[in-house]
Amino acid sequence: MLGQRLSQKMLQKLSPQQIQLMKLLQIPTSLLEQRIKEEMEINPALEENPNDFDNQKEDLAEPQEIKEQEDDYENQSNEDDEFGSDLDINEYTKDDYDYNADDDYTGRQEEKKQMPLTVGKSFHDYLLEQLALQNELSDHEYLIADHLIGSLDDDGYLRRELEAIVDDLAFQRNISTDEKEVEYILSLIQRFDPAGIGARSLQECLILQLERKKQTKTVELATEVLNKYFDAFTKKHYDKLAKALNISEDELKAVLDEIIQLNPKPGGTNSNSGASISHQTIIPDFTVEEIGGKLEIYLNGKNAPDLRISDSFKEMLVSYGKGNVKDKKNKEAVTFIKQKIDAAKWFIDAIKQRQHTLFATMQAIVQFQEKYFFSGDEMDLRPMILKDIAEITGLDISTVSRVANSKYVQTEFGIFLLKYFFSESLQTDSGEEVSTREVKKILSDIIENEEKSKPKSDEDLTELLKEKGYNIARRTVAKYREQLNIPVARLRKEL
């Protein structure tokens, strides 16, 4: 039976512009330039501004509301679909869309530095150079060795099963082999520098390095520990090790020192220089400096790229606008050009909105944590959650979260992720609210200064914190310890 009825629903609908803005907010400065290049490839109406704006002020005024843009877009789309005759060409050709217009922001723009690039030779290249010197290998064996080197992880381990590598060689390179031959080629690679390369486990990696050392009694005992008592070694059951090896505590300490000196990640270093060749470059989004007793916030210049609407598209729009208004093809061309110009304007507005949001968020964080930015002392960090910054800026909590999780700030005390400044609050016995980061700092100091031969348990740490006025449960201490990547007492024990 058919019928009609009315019902109300609450739905959240995100426009393409809102989605685009959210994605742009999440992008760090190091990837923003690539995202802009991708947009310019998609939309020819968007181009870089050739003018030099280095000496002009940044425009951090909030751009036109996204909602207004959506309404304009819907109205224009309806008109374009019907090929209406009232195409306002002047609206698209007037030269007042100034992306870098001045406003009341008096800060300076950061210098637009080139993206720093890491130049160096990877350990894969280093291994391939050594492989080229192995004249005794046949072409068949050389190809297998080349594939094995390419299968190594960045830390130098081979974590793929030999059986799977045999299949890879058959399907990807049309090379017929078996596990025995692959094992033999792998043993040759394991003789390359740095020592430990090509291992399939930490245990094998450490043993390979000990085999390269002069075989003293200590080295032989260390090899025996890794071969026969690796589980007891990792769990730091030193009493069992001393008893099994029938050695004194001093002798065991010498054996453990020999093992500790080994490199668990040989792929991360170049054996020629000992310098790490795996670098992660962090490009800070903000810089906070103390100038004349005041904190100044600067936005990285790469957050404010010079973009504009292409003059050629404006000229094309004028040219087609002078044509026959009743010609369907002419109107389709005008509609296409307008859509591209609209998309370019929306993208530029999104970049401006990104600037405004980033700066407003950073300004609120500096205002909230002002004492820390002057002193650099972690104990001066106040309890601060996303809601606190959202209330100051008027932004949504999810927006603040997107900014805090992916942006870095350079201070006089180092480079930090914005998330570093957020922490929950904890009430002391005196009723004062302190940051959980302060408690973690005290916990870290206690563990750092403890007697290594008798590390303190979580219960002991809880009692010490209570003596200092921090009344927290043992499970909370354990949680903070894990967040600091500090192992349990048994694994912190040293001889």
Angle between helices 202-211 and 217-228 (to 10 degrees): 160
Q: What is the pLDDT of residue 424?
A: 72
Residue that wins the pLDDT comparison between 32 and 427:
32
Span 188-203, average pLDDT: 89
**CB 393, CB 432: distance < 8 Å:** no
Q: What is the pLDDT of residue 15?
A: 64
Residues 25-78 have pLDDT tens digits of: 777 777 787 888 888 888 888 887 765 444 333 444 444 444 444 444 444 444
Q: What is the pLDDT of residue 98?
A: 46
Residues 2-27 have pLDDT tens digits of: 778 887 777 656 566 667 677 777 77
Architecture of domain 423-492: Orthogonal Bundle (1.10)
Q: How far apart are CA 366 and CA 384, in angstroms?
A: 11
210: its two tokens: 């000990």
Q: What is the pLDDT of residue 252?
A: 86
Q: What is the pLDDT of residue 123?
A: 76
Say if residue 284's pLDDT is above 50.
yes
Q: What is the pLDDT of residue 271?
A: 42
Q: What is the pLDDT of residue 357?
A: 86
Percent share of the chain, pLDDT over 70: 76
Say if residue 462's pLDDT is above 80.
yes
Residues 312-353 have pLDDT tens digits of: 777 777 776 665 556 677 777 777 878 888 888 888 888 888
Residues 102-153 have pLDDT tens digits of: 444 434 444 444 555 555 667 788 888 888 888 888 888 889 888 888 888 8
Using CA atoms, how far residue 185 sits from 199, 200, 203, 205, in Å, is: 13, 14, 20, 17
Average pLDDT, the chain: 76
Domain ranges within the chain, ordered by starting residue: 16-99+286-401, 123-268, 423-492
Residue that wins the pLDDT comparison between 132 and 434:
132
